[in-house]
Amino acid sequence: MEVYPIKAEQARTLRSAVLRPGLPMERSVYPQDDDPSTFHAGVYDGDTLIGVASVFNEAPSGEWPTTEWRLRGVAVLEAYRNRGIGEKMLGVCLAYVSEADGTKIWCNARERARPFYERLGFTVEGDLFEDPVSGPHFRMCKQLGKAPVGGWNPSAGSVGALLFPQSKEVMCATL
Ligand SMILES: CC(C)(COP(=O)(O)OP(=O)(O)OC[C@H]1O[C@@H](n2cnc3c(N)ncnc32)[C@H](O)[C@@H]1OP(=O)(O)O)[C@@H](O)C(=O)NCCC(=O)NCCS
């Protein structure tokens, strides 16, 4: 299985199924989904999309352009969890942001996903807050240096340090 750049509409199908089940697809459309700076990562098992994650050039205040990037729509089909797919997708997203000279990556993490993000070097910023649709969340963030990205060990997989924003068509990681 490999991590591929995918289109926003592909990411939405899995976002909707995993993160917004039972709600209309519009609830899984994010404002900058089709912006050229945005990157959507996807993992397939055969023809089936099983994991997605996206990064957006957006500061916590909503401002952009910025050197801060928002990680959003991170989802892996239940049957494929705990195999390292989430970690590999985030490694590619971090590499993308680092290559784009991002200084910080942040997300609103579901409380239950906190250990997953902590293991990848994210830290909690602020108090637990309630999302009306998806429950308790923490704001989490990770400061970024120049590539190689902290927490990502290229020898453990094969990415990504060579992933540049202008080469989204290039396959970017092998699990
Ligand atoms: C959060 C989520 C994306 C993680 O995806 P994943 O592919 O299971 O992630 P990983 O396999 O890299 O890591 C998950 C766990 O599996 C463990 N793991 C990783 N590789 C493993 C392997 N080869 N064998 C066994 N366990 C493994 C990790 O230790 C990790 O444990 P943790 O909970 O302490 O972090 C996934 O659980 C999910 O889609 N959840 C529902 C939606 C959601 O909450 N999304 C995040 C919104 S903020």
Mean pLDDT of 157-175: 41
pLDDT at 153 over 60: no
C-beta separation of 120 from 87 below 8 A:
yes
CATH, residue 136: 3.40.630.30
In tens, the pLDDT along 10-54 reads: 999 999 999 999 999 999 999 999 999 999 999 999 999 999 999
Q: Name the band, by pLDDT with cuts 50, 70 and 90, for residue 146.
A: low
* pLDDT for 145: 78
Token pair for 60: 């916590």
Q: Which atom of ligand 1 is nearest to the CA of 137?
A: 48
* pLDDT for 21: 95
Partners of residue 89 on adjacent β-strands: none
Residue 135 neighbours by CB under 8 Å, 6+ apart: 110, 111
Amino acid code (one letter) for 39: F
Number of other CB atoms surrounding residue 163 within 10 Å: 24
- What spacing in Å lies between the alpha carbon of 168 and ligand 1's midpoint? 25
- What spacing in Å lies between the alpha carbon of 65 and ligand 1's midpoint? 30
Domain tally, the chain: 1
Smallest CA separation from ligand 1 atom 5, residue: 86
Number of other CB atoms surrounding residue 122 within 10 Å: 24
Q: What is the DSSP letter of 8?
A: H
In tens, the pLDDT along 57-104 reads: 999 999 999 999 999 999 999 999 999 999 999 999 999 999 999 999
Q: Name the band, by pLDDT with cuts 50, 70 and 90, for residue 1.
A: confident
Domain that holds residue 108: 3-174
pLDDT at 143 over 50: yes
* pLDDT for 127: 97
169/90: higher pLDDT: 90
Q: CA 51 to CA 37: how far, in whole Å?
A: 20
Q: Name the band, by pLDDT with cuts 50, 70 and 90, for residue 147.
A: low
What torsion do the CA atoms of 158, 160, 162, 168 make, to the nearest 10 degrees? 120
3-state secondary structure of 105: strand
In tens, the pLDDT along 115-136 reads: 999 999 999 999 999 999 899 9
95 lines ligand 1 (CB under 6 A): no
Asked if omega into 148 is within 30° of 0 (cis), the reply is yes
81 lines ligand 1 (CB under 6 A): yes
Q: CA 99 to CA 74: how far, in whole Å?
A: 20
Measure the CA angle with vertex 80, ends 175 and 172; round to 5°: 25
